[in-house]
A and B are shown apart, each in its own frame.
Chain A
C-alpha cells in the first residue's frame, strides 16, 4: 500500500511531467528540418505544452491509482467536488472516450462490445468505454480499476445504463445522482431530492475511502471548483475579441482540465496561465486564424475524429468557431457552487446543466452566445450518439435563425464513431454553407 502510494505520487509529480517533456522533445525533433506547412491558423498557444503535461501526468498517475488511493469513475456532469476531499482519484470515461475518438480507436473498441450484443445505435462514448474495459485497449496505457462508480443523469439517461453495465463488470458500488429534468427553474422538491442523493453519496464515499468529509475540506474544494469555473469562463470570454485569440476547436481540447481536474489547484493554475495568454493575444491582435472573416457558433459535442479536418476546411475561408455551447456549459456548471453550502449549492448547480434543461433555455443560451460573441452563423452538430443534445435541434435551428438573423446549418455526424460520418457529404454541406455568406 505504501509502495503503491509512493508510485502513485511519483507518477503524478515526476513520471507524468517527464513523459510529457519527452513527447514534446520528440515532436520538436521531428518538426526540425521540416518545412512549416501553410496553415490558416494563427500561431499555436504556448499553454498547449502545459496542457499536455498536466493531462499526461493525470493519466499516467491514474495507472498507479488503484491500490494507492480510492478510485472513482465519474460522469462529466457529476459533482466531483464531493469526492475530492476524500482523496478519490477521479477517472472520466467520457474524457477517455474522447481521446479514443481523436485517435480513431472507436471502431475497433466498439466492434468488441457489438460482438457481445451492444447495439451500434448506443452512444459511442459508452461503446468505446465498455470496449476499452473488455479488451484492455486504451491510448493511456492503463485505466485504474474503480472502487466506486458515480453517475449523474444531468447529461443524459444513457450514463445510468452505461454505468450499470460497468457495475456488473467490476462488481463495485454504483452511486446514482438522478436529476429531474428542469422546465424553467427547478422546483423545491426537485432540489430536495437531489440534495438527499448527494448526502447519501457522501456517506457511501466516506465508507469506501475510509475518511470523513470534513466541512472545511468540502468548502476548500468548492472554492477551487468555483474559481476554476470562473477562470474557464474568462478564457472563453476572450473569444469575444476581434479577432478571437483562439478557435472553438482549441477550446474543445483546453476544456480537459475543467472536466477532469475541476476542484484542484492544478486546474486553476492552468486556466490562469491560459487566460493570461489569451488576453495577451487579444491585446496584440493575434487571432486563432490568420484571417478571421466570419465568426461562428458550434452547438453540441465536437466530432472528435474530424475536429481538425472540419476546422481547417472552414478556417481556409476565414470561418472561425469563436464560441461553442459545449465548452460554455463548463463555464456555467460550477457557477452556482457556494463554498458555504457545497451540498445544497451542488444540488442547484448540477440540476441546472444545459442538457438537463428545456429547449427554451437551450435557445436562450444559443441566442446569448450569438449576441455576445457577435457571430454571423452557427453550425448545429446533430450528434447521432448524443440524443439529448441533438433532439430539438431542427426547431432550434429555425428559431435561432429567425431570432438572430444568422445563418444556421445542421450537420449530421457522431462525436466519436467515424462510421457514422460521411466526409464528402459534410464537406459539400459546409462548403455550400460558407458560400451562402458570399
Chain B
C-alpha cells in the first residue's frame, strides 16, 4: 500500500531529527489523543446552533489546534465545552459555510451583525479535519491510515463529487441551515473546481447559495459586506435565490 509506505518513509526521515524511534505504543497513544480532540471538536461543531458563543471566537479556538501542542489544545477544548453549555437554539438565520479556511474573522462578525450564524461548518481547515469514526483496534499504523480515509470528503483529497454532495446535504439537513456560503480562496484550485457542481446542486434543491472569493491577507471589502448582508436579508425574508 502506497500511503502506508509513504508514511513509514516519512517517519524514517523524521526519526533522526527527533532523536528517537516512533514506537507503536507511542503512535497508538497519539492516535487516542487525537481521537479525543476530534470528539471534543465534533461536539462543539454539532452543538453550534445552541452554543452561546460568537462564530469568530469558536473558530479562533478550533484553529488554535493547528499550532498548539495537542495536549494543551485538548485542555482548552474541554474547558470550552464546560464554559459554553448547549442552550436553546440561538436566534438568527442558520447558514452552512464551506471553504478552505475561515479567514478573515471579520466575515463572521458581519454575518452575525446581519442576523445570521454558522450552523454547519465545512471548512477544509476545520470541519473537514474532524474524524468522527473511532480508531480501529489493532495495528496503530492501520489505525492511522483508517483515520485518514475516515475524514469527511474534501476537495484537497480529490473527494468524489457525489460523496461531497451527500456529506453537505446531510450537514444542511442536520443543522437546519437555510442557505449556503461557498467561501473560497483565490487560486485554490481544488475548491474552485468544485464550485460549479456545488452551486448547481444546491440551486437545484432550492437552497440559496452565496459565492464569496477572498484572499488570506486581505480584509473584507465593502462589496463583500453588502453581499453578505443582502444574502442574509434574502434568507430572513424566506425568498428563494
Contacts and interface: CB of A to CB of B under 8 A. Distances in A.
B190 A161 contact: yes
Contacts of B9: 187, 189
A113 B197 CA distance: 12
A117 B2 contact: no
Contacts of B158: 160-161, 164
Interface in A141-178: 157-158, 160-162, 164-165, 168
A292 B158 CA distance: 48
Interface in B204-218: 211, 213
Contacts, number: 58
A119 interface: yes
A212 to B, nearest CB: 27
A207 to B, nearest CB: 21
Contacts of A123: 189
B161 A117 contact: no
Given A117-B199, A164-B161, A168-B197, A122 B192 contact: yes
Given A180-B6, A189-B5, A193-B2, A116 B196 contact: yes
Contact of B193 (A164, A180, A192, A196): A164
A162 B190 CA distance: 10
A424 interface: no
Interface of A is mostly: helix
Contact of A122 (B5, B161, B189, B199): B189
A161 B195 contact: no
Nearest to A196: B2
A160 B190 CA distance: 9
Contacts of B161: 164, 168
Contacts of B174: none
Interface residues of A, number: 24
A308 interface: no
Contacts of B190: 157, 161
Contacts of A165: 193, 196-197
Nearest to B187: A121
Contacts of B5: 189, 192-193
B189 A158 contact: yes
B32 interface: no
B5, B192, B193, B197: most-surrounded residue (chain A CB, <10 A): B193
B186 A121 contact: yes
A111 to B, nearest CB: 14
Nearest to A193: B2
A122 B6 contact: no
B91 to A, nearest CB: 32
Nearest to B155: A161
A368 interface: no
B2 A118 contact: no
Contacts of A193: 2, 5
A189 B6 contact: yes
Nearest to A113: B196
B78 interface: no
Interface in A277-300: none
Nearest to A116: B196
Interface string B161-186: 10000000000000000000000101
B189 A192 contact: no
Contact of A192 (B2, B184, B194, B213): B2
Contacts of B186: 119, 121
Given A116-B196, A117-B195, A119-B213, A387 B6 contact: no
A189 B9 CA distance: 9
B200 interface: yes
A164 B155 CA distance: 12
B155 to A, nearest CB: 8
Contacts of B194: 161
Interface in A96-147: 113, 116-119, 121-123
A128 B187 CA distance: 17
Contacts of B213: 119
B192 A118 contact: yes
B205 to A, nearest CB: 16
B189 A161 contact: yes
Interface string B60-101: 000000000000000000000000000000000000000000
A117 B192 CA distance: 9
A117 B200 contact: yes
A178 to B, nearest CB: 9
Contacts of A117: 195-196, 199-200, 211
A215 B158 CA distance: 33
B203 to A, nearest CB: 10
A433 to B, nearest CB: 27
B182 to A, nearest CB: 9
A157 B195 CA distance: 17
Contacts of A189: 2, 5-6, 9
Interface string B3-31: 00110010000000000000000000000
Contacts of A116: 196, 200
B189 A118 contact: no
A186 to B, nearest CB: 12
10 contacts: A113-B196, A118-B196, A123-B189, A161-B190, A161-B193, A165-B193, A189-B6, A192-B5, A387-B187, A387-B189
Given A158-B189, A180-B6, 13 more contacts: A113-B196, A116-B196, A119-B184, A122-B189, A157-B189, A160-B158, A161-B158, A164-B158, A165-B193, A165-B196, A168-B197, A187-B9, A193-B5
Interface of A: 113, 116-119, 121-123, 157-158, 160-162, 164-165, 168, 180, 187, 189-190, 192-193, 196, 387
For the complex of A and B, the 7 pairs showing the least CB-CB separation, nearest first, are A161-B193, A117-B196, A189-B5, A193-B2, A119-B192, A117-B199, A117-B195
